Amino acid sequence: MDDLVFEDPPAPRKTNPAYEAVAEALRKRPREWARVGAFPSASMIASNIKRGRPKAFEPAGAFDSVSRKVEDGTVLYVQYVGEAKDSEEPS
């Protein structure tokens, strides 16, 4: 293998600043859907956001997201639903 190069991997990238801005805006308006944008395919993006990826959308389950097909691609909708509590306090 002539293409094998031994080196340390680069540091992980920080989350995209655009994602940070979207997540922050959604947190300010919980449970309101927002059209984030149109993509060739948004279903994988929607699934990742539900899992808390990218990092701006942590923790997993804090955001809900769906994709809808339109004429020229797929539209991504996201809402902040809040962070789940680890345990409920007894009443």
- Phi-psi bin for 31: left (phi > 0), alpha (psi -120 to 50), beta? left
Domain ranges of the chain: 31-80
What pTM, to 2 d.p., does this model score?
0.75
pLDDT digits (tens, 9 = 90+) for 26-82: 999 999 999 999 888 789 999 999 999 999 999 999 999 999 998 878 999 999 999
Which pLDDT does position 85 carry in this prediction? Answer: 57
